[in-house]
Every structure is written in C-alpha cells, then in structure tokens.
C-alpha cells in the first residue's frame, strides 16, 4: 500500500514531467484506438461480405450472345433443392391484364398488358422494402397461396381493400386462363419512380405492380412463360468451396451445357476493394504510431530517470530494496497509462467513425463498434508501451549503485 500511495504522490510532485508523459501516452493510445476500431470493423465487414457474395451462385450463359430461349421456372426451382445450399432467393416479374379493373395511367382498356406481377421468395419482399422505398401501410405481406399486395393508388382507383379479389388474365390475348388473388396488404411507394405520370403507359407506373409470393406466381401456367417474364435465382452455398460440386449436381439434374454456375465475384470485389484499402491504411498507420510512440516514450522515460537518479540513490541508501524502488516507478507509469487508456479509448471510439468515413470517401459504409476484443487489444498495447518505456528507464538507472549516485550529486 505504501508503494502505491507513494507512487501517486510522486505523480503529483512531478506534474510537468508526468503531464508530458501523459500527453504522449494519450496521443499514442488515441491513434492506436482509432486504428484498432477501424481495423476491427473492416475485418468484420470483409468476413461478412465474403460470406454474402463468395457463397452466392447464379446460373448464367457461357456465351451471352447465344440464343437458348432461357430456362423454365420449374428448372430453377428444381436446382434449388440441393443439400449443398443453405438458402435460395427467387424473384420474378411478368406482364398481365387486369380483369374488370383499371390500371393507373391507363387511358382506356385496349386489351394490352396493363400490370406487372412481381413475385419474390424473400421475407423482406426485396430491396425496395428493406431500404424504405416501399412500405406496407395496411394489412400484411402475402404468405398464403393466392395472397398479394397492391399499392394505395391502385386500391383507391378501384375501390379495393383488404380481402378484395383481383383477377389477372394472360398478357397474350391469344391465351386463356385466369389467376385469382386476395389482397392481404396495401403498400406505399415512396420512390420517385413510383409517381407514374405517363398517360397511356401503365406498365411504367410502379404503383400498378401486384406483389405476391414466388410459390403463387410459379403455379400460374400463363405467367411463368408470359410476355416480358424475367426470373432471377440466387443460390447460397453452405461453403464457397462447393461451387464446382453444385455445378456438377445441376448438370446431373439436366442443366443444359450452354449454362454455367458462377459465383458473384465481381460484386464481391467492388464491395471489398475500398474496405481492404481502408484496412491497409489503418494497419500501416498503427504500425507507424507504435514504432514512433515507443521510441518517444522510451526517450522520455530515460530522460525522466536521469532527473530522478538522486531520488533513487536516496531511497536505496535508506535501505529500500532495488525491486521495491523499481516497482514504485513501474506503478507510477501504469497509473498514468491507465488514465490515458480510459480517455484514449473514449476519444478513439468517437473519432474512428468520422476518420473511416473520410478515408473511404463514400465508397462503402463502415460501422464502427466498441467491442470487448478490441478493447482488450488496445489495453494490451497500452500495457506493452508502459512496460517497454519503464524497462528502458529502469535499466538505465539500475546501472548505478547508491553510493556512486550520492557521490556524484555531492
């Protein structure tokens, strides 16, 4: 207890020297904290992105100029039934004709396609809903077979509400058939493209879209091969190493030789490139800070010990053992470092996000979080700095014997 109390008193006795030491230590910990926070966030983002894009597989034509007529919807669904996949995402759009209902921006019924059936397997209904460009204002998302979402404007135009029935006819007037839907919810389109405003062109008005599940759309014969039908399938592999095995499995299931299975590598590179650049910058900055910081702290410690040489000589002459003298000096350094660590962590956490945003220049969004592992890493760095700087000063002062120190002073 005496050593601790004496160490604290010494800190306040030598205010000038310890203020300089604390300022340098704080700046080093602050800079290291910013680097660690950015490095930790980028490492996490790279792992997540690698999982997100590296495990995604799509079916593409080997030769994009080739004309094959495309794969049937049933084939995409069949390929998705694989033990190599952790999940699948399907989306489809197809043209249709409203039966006894009007479409927005439709001047007069002319027997042509006037609505788009949009189907998805995603529980969040796709990026428009996830990003807030669309939102459900009444009811709920379609879940059961035959349920659908319609826009507020379309519902108002046709006096529809939750539970109303909608009938769709084939876009091709030469085909027969009817698809019936029950309105389960009503959505609002908040995007600029959702405003329409082109009379006579109802297909350009997003508020004419009828949203349903992929199971419902795939069961409508005249929709799966309708005019303007587009079907997208994304297969999520359990491991990116299983891409070749997945392709071989699809070939066995009948995938035409003109098609290949490919990973989403290009999008992965576009997303990861700026993040990796930021991570590299932060790591280089951390290395420079630690090297220069350690040198400066060692220099300050040695100069401080030169000033305190007489104090050490007196303590040793009074009978205090060398280990206790060294332990007292180490306690002083650790106490200063602990205070600097606290403020350095807080300041680093606040500054890391603006620094990351500035360095990455809007190329990606890096979210900085203070986590226990990062705090532990920064604390270890602080302890190492304190240990190295104290050791240098201690090694310098312990070369002298008490009598020699006192005789030089006299």
**H-type helices in 97-229, by residue range?**
127-130, 152-157, 214-218, 221-224
Q: What span, in angstroms and rounded, lies between the C-alpha atoms of 117 and 229?
A: 9
Q: In 3D, which of 58, 201, 234, 221 has the Cα closest to residue 116?
A: 201
Instruction: Quickly state the pLDDT bin for 164 (edges 50, 70, 90).
Output: very high
- Taking residues 4-8, report their average pLDDT: 65
> Average pLDDT of the chain?
82
- 246's CB contacts (< 8 A; 6+ apart) are 57, 82, 84, 85, 235, 237, 261
User: What ranges make up the beta strands (E) of 28-73?
Assistant: 56-61
- Taking residues 151-171, report their average pLDDT: 94
CA 161 to chain centre: 39
pLDDT of residue 70: 74
User: What ranges make up the beta strands (E) of 40-190?
Assistant: 56-61, 85-98, 115-120, 134-139, 147-151, 165-170, 179-189
Provide the residue ranges of all domains of the chain, joining segments of one domain with +. 2-52+270-409, 56-263
CA dihedral (313, 315, 316, 317) positive or negative: positive
- Tokens 């070749």 -> residue: 244
CA 18 to chain centre: 41
- Of 363 and 80, the structure prediction assigns the larger pLDDT to 80
The pTM (predicted TM-score) of the whole model is: 0.58
Distances (CA, A) of 209 to 100, 168, 352: 16, 12, 43
- Taking residues 193-222, report their average pLDDT: 84
Q: In 3D, which of 188, 189, 206, 209 has the Cα closest to residue 197?
A: 206
Q: What is the pLDDT of residues 112-134, one digit of tens each?
A: 899 999 999 999 999 899 888 99
- Taking residues 334-361, report their average pLDDT: 85
Q: Do residues 72 and 224 touch, judged by C-beta distance below 8 A?
A: yes
pLDDT of residue 402: 56
Highest averaged pLDDT of the listed ranges 187-191, 227-231, 275-279, 391-395: 187-191
pLDDT of residue 78: 93
Q: Do residues 116 and 209 touch, judged by C-beta distance below 8 A?
A: yes
88 forms beta bridges with: 235
- Whether the pLDDT of residue 254 is over 60: the answer is yes
- Of 230 and 312, the structure prediction assigns the larger pLDDT to 230
**H-type helices in 117-210, by residue range?**
127-130, 152-157
Q: Do residues 142 and 235 touch, judged by C-beta distance below 8 A?
A: no
pLDDT of residue 144: 92
pLDDT of residue 252: 93
pLDDT of residue 277: 82
pLDDT of residue 387: 81
User: What token pair was written down for 385?
Assistant: 């700095």
């Amino acid at each position: 207890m005496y050593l601790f109390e004496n160490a604290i008193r010494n800190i306040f006795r030598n205010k000038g020297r310890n203020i300089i030491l604390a300022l340098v230590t704080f700046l080093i910990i602050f800079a290291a904290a910013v680097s660690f926070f950015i490095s930790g966030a980028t490492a996490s983002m790279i792992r997540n992105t690698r999982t997100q894009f590296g495990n995604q597989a799509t079916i593409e034509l080997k030769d994009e100029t080739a004309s094959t007529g495309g794969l049937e919807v049933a084939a995409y669904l069949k390929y998705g039934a694989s033990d190599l996949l952790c999940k699948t995402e399907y989306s489809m759009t197809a043209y249709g004709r409203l039966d006894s209902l009007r479409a927005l921006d439709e001047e007069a019924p002319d027997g042509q396609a006037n609505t788009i059936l949009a189907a998805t397997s995603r529980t969040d209904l796709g990026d428009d809903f996830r990003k807030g460009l669309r939102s459900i204002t009444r009811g709920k998302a379609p879940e059961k077979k035959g349920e659908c979402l319609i826009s507020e404007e379309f519902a108002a135009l046709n006096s529809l509400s939750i539970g109303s029935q909608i009938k769709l006819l084939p876009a091709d007037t030469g085909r027969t058939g009817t698809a019936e839907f029950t309105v389960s919810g009503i959505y609002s389109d908040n995007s600029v493209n959702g405003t329409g405003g082109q009379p006579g062109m109802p297909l350009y008005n997003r508020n004419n879209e009828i949203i349903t599940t992929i199971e419902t759309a795939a069961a409508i014969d005249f929709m799966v091969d309708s005019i303007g039908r587009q079907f997208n399938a994304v297969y999520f592999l359990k491991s990116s190493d299983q891409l070749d095995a997945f392709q071989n499995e699809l070939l066995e299931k009948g995938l035409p030789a003109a098609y290949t299975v490919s990973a989403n590598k290009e999008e992965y590179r576009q997303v990861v490139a700026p993040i990796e650049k930021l991570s590299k910058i932060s790591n280089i900055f951390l290395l420079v800070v630690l090297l220069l910081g350690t040198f400066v702290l060692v220099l300050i410690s040695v100069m401080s010990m030169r000033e305190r040489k007489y104090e050490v000589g007196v303590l040793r002459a009074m009978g205090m053992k060398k280990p206790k003298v060294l332990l007292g000096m180490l306690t002083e350094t650790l106490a200063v470092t602990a205070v600097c660590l606290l403020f350095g962590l807080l300041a680093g956490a606040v500054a890391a996000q603006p620094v990351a945003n500035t360095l990455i220049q809007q190329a990606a969004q890096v979210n900085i979080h203070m986590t226990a592992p990062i705090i532990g890493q920064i604390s270890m760095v602080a302890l190492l700095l304190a240990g190295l700087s104290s050791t240098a000063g201690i090694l310098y002062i312990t070369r002298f014997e008490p009598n020699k120190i006192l005789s030089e002073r006299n």
